[in-house]
Amino acid sequence: MVKIKGAFFLIFIFTLICFQSEGKQFIVSKTSHEFSSIKNALLKISAGDTIFVLSGIYHEYGLVIKVPITLIGNNFPVVDGDSHGQIFSIESDSVTVSGFVIQNTGFSAMNDWAGIRTQNVSVITIEGNKFLNCCYAIFLAGSKYCKVANNIIKGNPANQQLAGNGIHCWQSINCEIYNNEIAGQRDGIYFEFVQGSTISNNHSYENMRYGLHFMFNDNNRFVENLFENNGSGVAVMFSKNITMLNNVYRNNWGASAYGLLLKEINDSYVLYNHFEKNTAAVYMEGCNRIVFTRNDFLQNGWAIRVQASCMNNTIACNNFLGNTFDIATNGSLSLNIYSGNYWEQYEGYDLNKNGIGDIPFRPVSVFSMFSENMPESMVMMRSFCVTLLDKIEKVVPGVIPEDLIDNSPMMKKINNAYPGKGT
Amino acid sequence: MKLVKYILFDLVRSRFVLFYFLLLLLFTGTFVLLQDDVSKVQLSLLNIIILVIPLVSVIFATIHWYNSSEFIEVLLAQPISRKRIFISEFIALSLAVGGAFLLATGIPLLIFYPDTVSLLLMIGGFFLTIIFIALAFWSAVFTRDKAKGIGLSLVFWLYFSLIYDGLILMIMFNFSDYPIDKIVVALLSLNPVDVTRVMILMKMEMSAMLGYSGAVFTDFIGSNVGMIYSVVLLLIWSIIPFLWALRKFSKKDL
């Protein structure tokens, strides 16, 4: 019985494959062949067909894909919108677009013009394209099971007012965004009302606002991404069950730049991340039950700024190296757990040689308390007077929160190299 | 100028300057060789510059003045004006102590990390040296008693590097409800140690960490105009105590 079932299944699979390969193939080329423009080809095709576009410059825009097809660029043909508007719009399920250079959508204050837009569809693959000077490069709206991979997106930072996002994902489910390179857009990756998606191995840099802008998305992961030199770093807001694993946040430096801004985030994990040279590596507001483990904080202005509205977060087994301030907070009550971290500023000793310092460490300095409540006092930074105050306060705490304490500070740097590779 | 040469020669021979030079070279060398990060090296040096350099300059200059009081008295018997003697002493001491600083810190720093901050560290350190030498001369001229003179110069050091900042912090606390940014800028300008510190830190981490609420500082002190302002302030700061001490010395009944 089982064998027969297996055979039926195999037959079913084969029929499926045969059915798939049944589609016709069309070639679009500037020189000869049946079609000289993509628009004409799109009018003739039926479901399951494949269009190969040979290299050349195609001045086209407003291309609508209404049936499930595969659109493949051969040797990077250029589709130039000449600033007239949207280039590809996908209105059918099961569409693949790959190997194109898509450029010059134009910028409009009224419309969100995109290089490729998908609207209420599913199983879309957008792979290996280049997007140059697009308002929005890839716009996924209400889409499911989409794959956006290996694309290169370069925006034009001159258009600061009208610029859109690199990969814009809105009300979508189960999307995979990986291996993309995004620069010069407003937000590198924008996620809003997205569920069950993974953002991995992307490089988002030199975007005007955020490298990743993330709001109202539950149950998502972002893994092994590199966010650097973005205007304001990465913002993750109003979400729960987020896993942030093995990402790098680097050089997000400026008056209101954060490595990772967490606002109203619950039940999430921040693991094996590397924060280097950010004004504030992590800024937390209204966050509950987040676990920070095995992260490295290197040479940031503030390693973690925890507002008093945060509760039940765990900060354990992290390295704090060369930060101006390790922890800063604005309240006198601390409801978070700090344990087993390595603090470079720790000056204690370890008599029983168990690797854990014998005297507890208070990671908040009195000066960081001052400056949190009165930002102008930052101008007194590194004054001898302030250093002296800090030392006194470490011995006899008066201003700094009594409970903000690491009772088992590590004596040696923790090895926080990520043990597993891949997702 | 001949006088400057003699005093300078005497200073270098006294070995203190050599010792100071080697000490600074040791500090800078250790920082440069042991720390791999530029900003850490520069921050360590900043601490040296705003603490150690004023202290050494002020103490050494006071002691030097008392030790050479007999030499000065002999010189005064010669047909040389008081003004010239004083200026020569000042220049020679500045060249010796400031030169030791510039050579010991400047060479390693500018070889390994030639950037704006290094340059500002050099400028700031040199100005602090001469400012505190001028203050030391004033205290030494003020009283004949060596212990009192050294005490007075120590008070200067303590005031500028510790007490003054405490006062500013206190003012900031008590008037935190008011827009005090501009007043704080003015207050900071009245302390050469603060001017140096802020000038250097503005080119490092401070400008970003001040955020938007500290925009007055970043816009003003952090800009190029602010840099020029700071250097001019330091220049004024080195001239005024010097003239003050010179006037006192010219009028003093020795």
CA distance B177 to chain A (A): 10
Phi, psi angle pair for A409, to nearest 5° = -70, 140
Please list, residue by residue across B88-126, b when 16 or more beta carbons sit within 10 angstroms of its beta carbon and e when fewer do.
Answer: bbbbbbbbbbbbbbbebbbebbeeebeeebbebbbbbbb
Q: Looking at residues B3-28, what average pLDDT do you find?
A: 89
pLDDT above 90: residue A245: yes
- Weakest-pLDDT range from A43-47, A124-128, A157-161, B105-109: A157-161
How many structural domains comprise chain B?
1
- The residues pairing with A130 across neighbouring beta strands, listed in sequence order, are A101, A152
Question: CB burial class (10 A; 0-12, 13-18, 19+) of residue A77?
Answer: buried
CB contacts of B163 in chain A (<8 Å) are 385
pTM: 0.86
Amino acid present at B237:
W
pLDDT tens-digit series, residues B161-216? 999 999 999 999 899 888 888 889 899 999 999 999 999 988 887 777 877 767 77
Q: Residues A324, A327, A330, A333: is their CA dihedral positive or negative?
A: negative
pLDDT above 70: residue B33: yes
Non-local CB neighbours of A348 within 8 Å, separated by 6+ positions: A357, A358, A359, A360, A361, A409
Query: Best mutation site among B169, B176, B217 for testing chain A: the one with the most A CBs within 10 Å?
Result: B169
| Closest CB to A379 among B166, B173, B188 | B188
Q: What is the DSSP string of A97-128?
A: EES-EEE-----SS---EEEEEES-EEEEEES
Range of the domain at B69: 2-251
- The percent helix, strand, coil of chain A (3-state, each to 5) is 15, 40, 50
pLDDT tens-digit series, residues B86-99? 999 999 999 999 99
| Closest CB to B205 among A301, A370, A380 | A301
Amino acid present at A414:
I
A335 within 8 A of A306, measured Cβ to Cβ: no
CB atoms within 10 A of CB A152: 17
> Which DSSP helix (H) or strand (E) runs through A52?
strand A50-53
CB atoms within 10 A of CB B9: 12
| Closest CB to A376 among B43, B197, B213 | B213
Interface contact flag, A279 B208, Cβ < 8 Å:
yes
Report the C-alpha gap between A195 and A217 in whole angstroms: 6
- The residues pairing with A181 across neighbouring beta strands, listed in sequence order, are A152, A203
pLDDT tens-digit series, residues A150-173? 999 999 877 677 889 999 999 999
